[in-house]
Amino acid sequence: MNVELYVNQKVADCIKALYGSKNTPLQLQKTRKEFEGDITLVVFSLATLSGKSPEQTGAEIGEWLLANVPQVEAFNVVKGFLNIKLSKTFWLEQLSQIEKDKSFGYFPSSGKTVMVEYSSPNTNKPLHLGHIRNNLLGCSVAKILEANGHKVIKVNLVNDRGIHICKSMLAWQKFGNGETPQSSGKKGDHLVGEYYVKFDKEYKRQVSALMHTGVAEDEAKKQAPIMQEAQNMLVMWEEGNDDIFDLWEEMNSWVYEGFDVTYKQLGVSFDKVYYESKTYLLGKEIVKDGLKKGVFSKKEDGSVWCDLSADGFDQKLLLRSDGTSVYMTQDLGTARQRFSEYSFNELIYVVGNEQNYHFQVLKLILKKLGYAWSDSINHLSYGMVELPEGKMKSREGTVVDADDLVKVMVATARETSLELGKLTDMPEEEQQQLFQMVGLGALKYFILKVDPKKTMLFDPKESIDFNGNTGPFLQYTYARICSVLRKAHEQQLEPNVGAAELGEREVELVKNVADFPQIVAQAGVEHSPALIANYAFELAKEFNQYYHDISILKEENAAVKQQRLALLRQVGKTLKTATELLGIELPERM
C-alpha cells in the first residue's frame, strides 16, 4: 500500500464530509523530522473551503480523521501544516503486505521501451576511470528503469574507426615488429593503447623538429609526416584497402578480447553492440538526404555543414573535404537505425558533460531532418572523476587504467579486511571471493552515491571504510543481518510478522523500508542511482542504530523476538534489492 495515496484518499473523504467538496487537489509530504507525525497535509489552500484560518482548518480535519479513521493515531497542527501520525497497527499491516510482496520495489510493466547507451569506448586504448563511471552509471540506470516496469535495451556503441584508430595501427606498423597479445603476454587493449602512446610521442617529436626549422606550430602539426600518413590511412580504410582493413580487424579483435575481460570484472553487459564502422555509412546517406532537402550545405572544398546559427549554435561539420565522416555523421546513422529496430519511447545517452553541446546539436539536426522521435532523446550528462594526486599512476600519466584500479580496489579490500581480523576461520578461496566482492562493491558504491551531474573525487582507501558512507558498510550490515538470522535458525526461532505489536523503534524501520518503492520511482524519473545509494545507506544506518540499542536474540518475550526477526529479514531483503540496482553484491558472511 502506498502510504501517501492511502492518506490522500482518507483526507479526500474528510474534505467531502466536512465541506462537500470533491476532487480537491491535496498537497501531502513526509513529515519533517523535527515534528511528530508521518504524513503532513499542507492546509493553506483548504482554508477557503472551510472559511476558517489554516490552523483551525487543520485542527478540524485532524479531529475528523482521528474520529473516523482507526489508522490515524494522533495529529498536531503547526501553522498551516497538519502532521498526521499513523498507528502502530497500520505500520504492522504495512510490514505484513511488504513481506508478502515478492516483487517489492519493482513496478508492473509500463509498456514503455527505453534504450540506454553506455560505455562507448574507442578501440585505440583500454578502458579508464572515466569509462568506469560511465559503465556503472549506465548499467545501474538500466536496472532502475527495469524496476520501474520499462522494457530496457542496453546498448554499446564502439568507436572502432577514425583517425585515432589509424594512429595506433600506423604506430604498430612502424614500431611493432609483429608484436601480439600472445607474443607479449599483454592484454590486447593495453597493447594497442601503448602504440597509441607511441604515435603521440613520435608525432610530438616531429612537430618539435619542424618548429626548430622555423615552421609555425599550427602548420607543423599539419605537416608532421606521421600525421599525414595516419590521415592517408583513414582515407584508404574508407576506400576499402584490403591490407589496411585486415590490420584493422586484427588489432580491433585484440581490443575486444581485452574489453570483455574488463566488462566481466565490472559486472557490465549489453543487449546489443553497435559499431561505428557499420553505422557511419548510414550516416553518410542521411547527410546526402539532408543536402537534397536543403538542411545541409556543401562548401567549395567539398565539406558538408549544417548552419545552426539561427538556433543559437554555430556551423556543424558533417563530412570532411576528403569525404571522411565525423562523430556526428555516425551518430545520425546509429540513432536512425536504432529507432527503426526498436521504436523506443526514450533513448538515453550516458556520456560525460564535455559532450553536452554534441548531443544538443544531434537532437536539433535530427529534428530538422524531420525525425519526430528526436524529442525522445535524452543525454545523461555526468561529471568527471578525479583522484587525489599521487594515489595511482596511469600509463600516460593522465588517465587511470580501469584494470589497474580494480586491482588496487581488491588489494585494498584485502588489506582492510585482514586488518579487522575477522576472517581467520574463512577458507582462502572464500576470502578471495570476498575481497573481490568488497573491492568492487566499494568502487561501485563510491561512484554511484554521487549525483551523476557532479564532478567527484575518488579515494580508493576512503571507499573501503567499513564504518562510513561506503559499499563495505552496506555489505557488513547485510552480513550482520544474515548472521543474526542464522543464529535464530540454529535456535529454532523463525521470523513471524504479526507475532507482536511494533515498538516505536520498529515503526521507524518499517517506515524506512516502506519508502523504497517511492525512491525507486524517483530514481527512474531522474536517472539517478545516487538516490538508491543514499537510501540504502540511510536504511543501513538506521538498522545498525536499532541493532545497537535493541536486543533481538536475547529478548525474553518469544513473540516480540519473532516479530523483530521478521523486521530484520525484511530490512535485509530491501537492502539487497537496493544494492542489486547498483550492481553491488552483498556477502552473507564477512
Instruction: Give the pLDDT confidence score for residue 584 in this predicted structure.
Output: 98
> Helix, strand, or coil here: 246?
helix
The alpha carbon dihedral of 434, 435, 440, 443 has a sign of: positive
* Angle between helix 188-212 and 225-239 (nearest 10): 130
Instruction: Give the pLDDT confidence score for residue 398 in this predicted structure.
Output: 56
Tell me: the pLDDT tens digits for 150-186?
A: 999 999 999 998 899 999 999 999 999 999 999 999 9
Rounded to an integer, the average pLDDT of 443-469 is 89
Instruction: Give the pLDDT confidence score for residue 325 in this predicted structure.
Output: 85
- Kindly indicate the confidence band of residue 392, based on its pLDDT and cuts at 50, 70 and 90: very low
Between residues 426 and 396, which one has the greater pLDDT?
Answer: 426
Tell me: the pLDDT tens digits for 483-536?
A: 999 999 999 999 999 889 999 999 999 999 999 999 999 999 999 999 999 999
Three-state secondary structure readout of 477-514: HHHHHHHHHHHHHHCCCCCCCCCCCCCHHHHHHHHHHH
Tell me: the pLDDT tens digits for 101-152?
A: 999 999 999 999 999 999 999 999 999 888 999 999 999 999 999 999 999 9
For 392-453, the DSSP string reads: ---SSSS--BHHHHHHHHHHHHHHHHHHHT--TTS-HHHHHHHHHHHHHHHHHHHHHTS-TT
- Kindly indicate the confidence band of residue 388, based on its pLDDT and cuts at 50, 70 and 90: confident
Instruction: Give the pLDDT confidence score for residue 162 in this predicted structure.
Output: 87
Tell me: the pLDDT tens digits for 68-91?
A: 999 999 999 999 999 999 999 999
Q: Of 528, 380, 384, 534, whose CA–CA distance to 456 is shortest?
A: 384
Tell me: the pLDDT tens digits for 535-584?
A: 999 999 999 999 999 989 999 999 999 999 999 999 999 999 999 999 99
Q: Is the pLDDT of residue 394 over 70?
A: no
Q: Is the pLDDT of residue 418 over 60?
A: yes
Instruction: Give the pLDDT confidence score for residue 463 in this predicted structure.
Output: 85
Tell me the sheet residues that pair with 74.
Answer: 85
Rounded to an integer, the average pLDDT of 424-435 is 88
- CB atoms inside a 10 Å sphere around CB 359: 17
Instruction: Give the pLDDT confidence score for residue 397 in this predicted structure.
Output: 46
Q: Is the pLDDT of residue 267 over 80?
A: yes
d(CA 1, CA 382): 35
- The CA–CA distances, whole Å, from 188 to 103, 127, 373, 411 equal 42, 12, 38, 23
What percent of the chain has pLDDT above 90? 85
Cell for 272?
546489443
d(CA 160, CA 148): 33
d(CA 504, CA 551): 14
Q: Is the pLDDT of residue 396 over 50?
A: no
Q: Is the pLDDT of residue 414 over 60?
A: yes
Rounded to an integer, the average pLDDT of 340-346 is 96
Contact 537, 473 (CB under 8 A): yes
Which CATH number is 3-86 given? 3.30.1360.70
Going by DSSP bridges, is the β-strand pair 304-307/297-298 parallel, antiparallel, or unpaired? Answer: antiparallel
Q: Where are the domains of the chain?
A: 3-86, 113-386, 402-580
d(CA 199, CA 227): 9
Cell for 331?
551518430
Rounded to an integer, the average pLDDT of 410-423 is 83
Instruction: Give the pLDDT confidence score for residue 464 in this predicted structure.
Output: 83
Q: Is the pLDDT of residue 395 over 60?
A: no
* Greatest Cα-to-Cα distance within the chain, rounded to the nearest angstrom: 94
Tell me: the pLDDT tens digits for 269-287?
A: 999 999 999 888 899 999 9
Tell me: the pLDDT tens digits for 219-238?
A: 999 999 999 999 999 999 98
Q: Of 221, 268, 228, whose CA–CA distance to 402 is shortest?
A: 268
Amino acid making up residue 246? D
- CB atoms inside a 10 Å sphere around CB 547: 16
Q: Is the pLDDT of residue 373 over 60?
A: yes
Between residues 98 and 426, which one has the greater pLDDT?
Answer: 98
Q: Is the pLDDT of residue 391 over 70?
A: no
Mean pLDDT of the chain: 93
Which CATH number is 113-386 given? 3.40.50.620
Cell for 136?
556503472
Does domain 402-580 bear CATH number 3.40.640.10? no
Q: Is the pLDDT of residue 381 over 70?
A: yes
Same topology between domain 3-86 and domain 402-580: no
Q: Is the pLDDT of residue 255 over 50?
A: yes
What percent of the chain has pLDDT above 70? 98
**Rounded to an integer, what is the distance from CA 461 to the centroid of its chain?**
22
Q: Is the pLDDT of residue 389 over 80?
A: no
Instruction: Give the pLDDT confidence score for residue 368 in this predicted structure.
Output: 96
Q: Of 58, 86, 64, whose CA–CA distance to 74 is shortest?
A: 86
d(CA 411, CA 392): 13
- Kindly indicate the confidence band of residue 424, based on its pLDDT and cuts at 50, 70 and 90: confident
Residues 564, 567, 572, 578: what is their CA dihedral angle, to the nearest 10 degrees?
-160
